[in-house]
Amino acid sequence: MAIIAQILAGLGLLFVGLKIMSTHLQQATGRRVRNLLRTATRSPFAGLLCGTLAGAATQSSNAVAVISGNLVRGGVLTTRDAIPIVAGGNVGTAALVFVAAIDFRLLVLYLVAMVGFGFQFKLDRRPAFKEWMGVALGLALVLLGLDYIKQGPRALDVSALAAVLDHGISPWVGFLLGLIAAAVSQSSSTPTILVVALMQSQVLGLDDSIIIVMGANLGSGISAVLTAGELEGTGRQLCYVHVLVKAVGCLLVGAVLLAAGWLGAEPVALLSQMGGGKASASLSLLFLALQVAGAVPVSLARGVTEAIAARLSPPTMEDSASKPRFIHERALGDFATALDLAEQEIMRLVKLLPTLLPDLDQQDQSGPAERLALWRGANAIGVAIDQFLSDLIARGVPRGSLQTALHLQALVETVRTLQDTLHAFTEVVEGFADLPPLGFNLSESLRTIILSLADATDGDAEDLDLIITLAGDRSDLLSRIRRQLAASALGTGEDARQLLLATSLFERGVWLVRRSAVALRAPANEANPVVNAASGEARKREEADAHRT
Amino acid sequence: MHIEREQLGSEVVLKVAGRLDTPNAKPFEASLMEVVTTTDGGLLVNLAGVDYVSSSGLRALLVAGKAMRTAKRKLTLSSLQPQIREVFDISGFSTLFEIT
């Protein structure tokens, strides 16, 4: 009983440790991993290498797939660029399996001591150490868990158990066990580490372990698609790439093992020889071989991979709505051009704002699902612009350009908040089975103001002046409407509560429109003389407006 | 939608009746812009007969209002029904136009 408890405790520590380690590694290395992945577009091998490094740094092929998916949506990478990265992410996770194959008992004890002292001396509160202390804690728990799992079965009559397992596990059962274990843990490395630990305790032999690890490899690919849930388009395409890497790896390695058998060689003995007689080292090599055998062909034939993935999950409206049209990585080298492109991208976001609101006057209007996709897409572009400007600032822009970059960053922040406010307002309006007249008036009024703001991006300073007047303070009016609403027959009902919420969101939206219009009137790109020439008058107005407000 | 045009001295009066919705917004805007481009006096839009206004109708008024403002001429709205007045107040149009 104590043995089962010790193994279960080890598994618990392993799961928690992996989770903590992966989360903190992503926090600590996320930005660097993101920058690394952006450079991976040169060739499939560059992508594979970057993906491998990212997989090793995050110890999660899913994390690499998610980051790649976001970069594809943000227009930084194409799906074709992301294929070798996702494939390489799997190879990188093999690092932990090799670590598990080492006898690390002494290392674990020192690591636990180090982490404990670190927390005692509050190193985890220092920004420079915070995430790395988390990584160390996660690693300590992983290794401690593995040690428990290894130590537990030693008290058993291993030879008897091994004999039972030897007779009891057929190749198909072993494959299925691995597949289920990977599907449950959503990882191929976790069951493999577990098998390594059981092999070190001599509970499992290398022949059974090979089959279990191959099952786990395929299982983790399948679990990636199963856990993708409602995910569609590009995001789901990368999950299918994940499955292809795993399936191709299993097929190729399986074929090699079978062919070796047919040719009279003993595949298990060969593998054991390659591991220098150490079963755990042999299994780690097999795990690495499975990842490489899947990753390389999938990356080299990325045109075919892309076609299969696109066939299984065609791009969605959200995918196309998420792609920036102006900003791109290479523009970061020229500050004036980069700022100009960022400004144009923001103008495009402002022009897209009306699509986030319902047109209550039109019968054939776009539906809530389409608007939700457009909102998510616009949101992704907002994030991409913010990231683009942050990267530009991090490169050390000249003082004049810095001021412009910060101005644009503030503007995009306002526009993003406006996007979210319009989305929330739309959800409230569309939540009514029968929209009351006040709801209609609020919605059509807000739509008029937003359409005027979108039009003003192509107009002159007078158009923006008009928007600033139109979006003036109306708190007295809205307070009066709220009082009337409270005293009306609707009174305390759900409809009244939703209408009150709609008035608040409307007021917030109008205030953000005014803020956006004031910011749009200010000079945007001082580093670019063409844009700047038209901005002098606007600057004076901005200053005057700042005094008025 | 029905629009009647009257000349009162130098001022043109447009009496509008019906719905200022998407299908009617273009003809309404065309009527307003015709007055803006073919006359040089003030414009009074009587909305007493209007019982529905959407964002498209409001935008038509905004286009005409901007053209009149550029030409330094006066555009006045009159006789709004209470529910239409509420739309104008909420949308901020009451601050852009003189309403009698």
Indicate if A280 and A344 belong to the same structural domain.
no
CB A371 within 8 A of CB A356: yes
pLDDT band for position A31 (cuts 50, 70, 90) = low
Q: Residue B56 phi/psi, 5° resolution?
A: -65, -40
Q: Which tokens in the block code for residue A511?
A: 């205030």
Please list, in sequence order, all residues whose beta carbon lies within 8 angstroms of the beta carbon of residue A229, skipping any fewer than 6 positions away.
none
Residue A126 corresponds to which amino acid?
R
A374 vs A393: CA distance, rounded Å: 29
Of all residues in chain A, the percent with pLDDT exceeding 90 is 33
Verify whether the Cβ–Cβ distance A472 to B95 is below 8 Å: yes
Q: Which residues of B touch A445 (CB under 8 A)?
A: 55, 58, 87, 90-92
Q: Are residues A416 and A282 in the same domain?
A: no
User: Is A451 in contact with B55 (Cβ distance < 8 A)?
Assistant: yes
- Shortest Cα–Cα distance, A484 to chain B (Å): 13
Q: Which of A262, A283, A312 is the last residue of a domain?
A: A312
The pLDDT of residue A458: 87
pLDDT at residue number A530: 41
One domain, residues A83 and A231: yes
Owning domain of residue A169: 2-312
Q: How far apart are CA A213 and CA A483, in angstroms?
A: 68
Instruction: Output the pLDDT for position A468.
Output: 93
Q: Is A413 left (phi over 0), alpha (psi -120 to 50) or beta?
A: alpha
Q: How far is A462 from chain B (nearest CA, A)?
A: 9
The CA distance from B89 to A470, in Å, is 10
Q: Are residues A297 and A408 in the same domain?
A: no
Q: Is B22 on the interface with A (CB under 8 A)?
A: yes
**How high is the pLDDT of residue A508?**
96
Question: Do B87 and A444 count as a contact with CB atoms less than 8 A apart?
Answer: yes
Task: Give me the pLDDT at residue A278, please.
Answer: 82
| Cα A509 to Cα A470: distance, rounded to the nearest angstrom | 12
Return the pLDDT at A541. Answer: 46
Q: Given CB atoms, is B92 within the 8 Å cutoff of chain A?
A: yes
pLDDT band at residue A208 under the 50/70/90 scheme? confident
Is A133:A26 a contact under the CB 8 Å cutoff? no
If pLDDT is split at 50, 70 and 90, which confidence band does A103 have?
Answer: low
In A450-469, the residues whose Cβ lies within 8 Å of chain B are 451-452, 462-463, 466, 469
Question: For residue A538, which of A398, A343, A391 has the smallest C-alpha distance?
Answer: A343
pLDDT computed for residue A491 by the predictor: 59
Contact with chain A for residue B54, Cβ under 8 A? yes
Among the ranges given (A186-190, A288-292, A526-530, B87-91), the one the predictor scored with the smallest mean pLDDT: A526-530
3-class DSSP state of A153: helix
CB A291 within 8 A of CB A95: no
B57 and B27 Cβ atoms separated by less than 8 Å: no
Check whether residue A232 and residue A350 sit in a common domain: no
Of A216-230, A241-255, A447-461, B61-75, minimum mean pLDDT range: A216-230
Residue B61 pLDDT grade (very low, low, confident, very high; cuts 50, 70, 90): very high
Q: Are A439 and A499 in contact (CB under 8 A)?
A: yes
DSSP annotation string for A343-409? HHHHHHHHHHGGGGS--TT-TTPPPHHHHHHHHHHHHHHHHHHHHHHHHHHHTT--HHHHHHHHHHH
B58/A448 touch (CB, cutoff 8 Å), yes or no = yes
Band the pLDDT of B55: cuts 50, 70, 90. Answer: very high
Question: B28, B55, B56, B75: best mutation site toward chain A, by most A Cβ within 10 Å?
Answer: B55
Q: Does the pLDDT at position A546 exceed 80? A: no
The pLDDT of residue B62 is 94
For the cut 50, the answer to whether the pLDDT of residue A29 exceeds it is yes
- Cα separation, A514 vs A237, in Å, equals 41
Average pLDDT over residues B90-96: 93
**CB of B76 within 8 Å of any CB in chain A?**
no
pLDDT digits (tens, 9 = 90+) for A108-131: 788 888 888 888 888 877 776 777
Those residues whose C-beta lies under 8 Å from the C-beta of residue A159, and which sit 6 or more positions away, are: none
Q: Chain centroid to CA A386: how far?
A: 16
φ, ψ at A195 (rounded to 5°): -65, -40
Q: CA B43, CA B5: separation in Å to the nearest integer?
A: 10
Residue A424 has pLDDT above 90, yes or no: yes
Mean pLDDT of A145-156: 68
Cα angle vertex B72, ends B82, B20, to 5°?
30
CA atoms of A178 and A168, how far apart (whole Å)? 15
Kindly report the nearest CA distance between residue A449 and chain B, in angstroms: 7
Of B53, B59, B95, the CB nearest to A469: B95
pLDDT band at A490 (very low <50, low <70, confident <90, very high): low
What pLDDT sits at residue A298? 94
Q: What is the pLDDT of residue A34?
A: 67
Same domain (yes/no): A223, A323: no
Same domain, yes or no: A136 and A259 = yes
Q: How confident is the model at residue A234 (pLDDT cuts 50, 70, 90)?
A: confident
A441 touches chain B (CB under 8 A): yes
Residue type, A366: S
Together in a domain, A277 and A142? yes
State whether A361 and B58 contact (CB < 8 Å): no
Contact yes or no for A361 and B54 at CB 8 A: yes
Interchain contact, B92 vs A474, CB within 8 Å: yes
What does the pLDDT read at residue A524?
A: 52
Q: Which residue of A has its CA nearest to B56?
A: A448
A282 within 8 A of A274, measured Cβ to Cβ: yes
Contacts of B70 in chain A (CB under 8 A): 462
Q: Do B91 and A471 lie within an 8 Å CB cutoff?
A: no
In the numeric block, the tokens 């043109």 are attached to B12
Segment B31-46 shows an average pLDDT of: 94
Q: Which of A160-169, A224-233, A408-417 has the lowest mean pLDDT?
A: A160-169
Q: Rounded to an integer, what distance in angstroms lies between the CA atom of residue A375 and that of residue A353?
A: 9
B95 interaction partners in chain A (CB closer than 8 Å):
469-470, 472
| Averaged pLDDT for residues A428-435 | 91
> Range with the lowest mean pLDDT among A157-171, A260-274, A296-310?
A157-171
> Over the stretch A304-360, which tens digit does the pLDDT of each residue have?
999 999 999 888 888 878 888 899 877 888 888 999 999 999 999 999 999 999 988
Query: What distance in Å separates the CA atoms of residue A89 and residue A187, rounded to the nearest whole number?
Result: 12
- The number of domains in chain A is 2
Sequence letter at residue A312? L
The full 3-state SS of A299-360, as one line of letters, equals HHCHHHHHHHHHHHCCCCHHHHHCCCCCCCHHHHHCHHHHHHHHHHHHHHHHHHHHHHCCCC
Distances B58 to A357, B11, B20, B51, B63 between C-alpha atoms, Å: 16, 22, 8, 13, 9
Average pLDDT, chain A: 82
**CB-based contact (8 Å) between A364 and chain B?**
no
Domain check: are A270 and A211 in the same one? yes
Asked if A365 has any chain B CB less than 8 Å from its own CB, the reply is no
pLDDT grade for A205, boundaries at 50, 70 and 90: confident
Read off the pLDDT band of A540 (50, 70, 90): very low
Query: Which residues neighbour A531 within 8 Å (Cβ) at sequence distance 6 or greater?
Result: A340, A343, A523, A524, A525
The answer on A220 and A113 residing in a single domain is: yes
Q: Is the model's pLDDT at A25 over the cut of 90?
A: no
**pLDDT at residue A152 tops 70:** no
Mean pLDDT of A389-400: 86
Residue A525's CB is within 10 A of a number of other CB atoms, namely: 26
Contact A444 B55 (CB under 8 A): yes
User: Of A280, A312, A344, at which residue does a domain stop?
Assistant: A312
Q: Cβ of A469 and B66 within 8 Å?
A: no
Q: How far apart are CA A146 and CA A197, in angstroms?
A: 7
CA distance A302 to A281: 31
pLDDT band at A160 (very low <50, low <70, confident <90, very high): low
Contact A502, A435 (CB under 8 A): no
Report yes or no: B17 and B31 within 8 Å, Cβ to Cβ: no
Q: Rounded to a whole number, what is the distance in Å from the CA of B88 to chain A's nearest CA?
A: 8
pLDDT higher than threshold 90 for residue B59: yes
How many contacts, defined by CB atoms under 8 Å, are there between A and B?
66
Taking each helix axis from N to C terminus, what angle separates A279-300 and A233-262, rounded to the nearest 10 degrees? Answer: 120
- pLDDT of amino acid A461: 85
Please list the residues that pair with B19 across neighbouring strands: B52
The CATH number of the domain where A386 resides is what?
1.20.58
pLDDT above 70 for A531: no
pLDDT, greater one: A162 or A199: A199
Which one of A264, A289, A312 terminates a domain?
A: A312
What separation, in Å, do the N-terminal and C-terminal C-alpha atoms of chain A show?
Answer: 74
Give the pLDDT score at A250: 94
Distance CA A259, CA A146 (A): 34
Across A53-57, A170-174, A424-428, the highest mean pLDDT is recorded for: A424-428
Are residues A251 and A375 located together in one domain of the fold?
no
- Give how far the C-alpha of residue A469 lies from the chain's centroid of Cα atoms, to the nearest Å: 41
Contact between chains at B62 and A448 (C-beta distance less than 8 A): yes
CA distances from A232 to A80, A299, A346, B57 (A): 17, 22, 26, 38
Cα angle: B37, vertex B38, B42; to 5 degrees: 80
pTM recorded for the entire structure: 0.65
Instruction: Indicate if A111 and A35 belong to the same structural domain.
Output: yes
Interface contact A441-B21, CB threshold 8 A: no
Res A100 pLDDT > 80: no
Q: Which domains does chain B have, with CATH numbers?
A: 2-99 (3.30.750.24)
Task: For chain A, give the number of residues.
Answer: 549
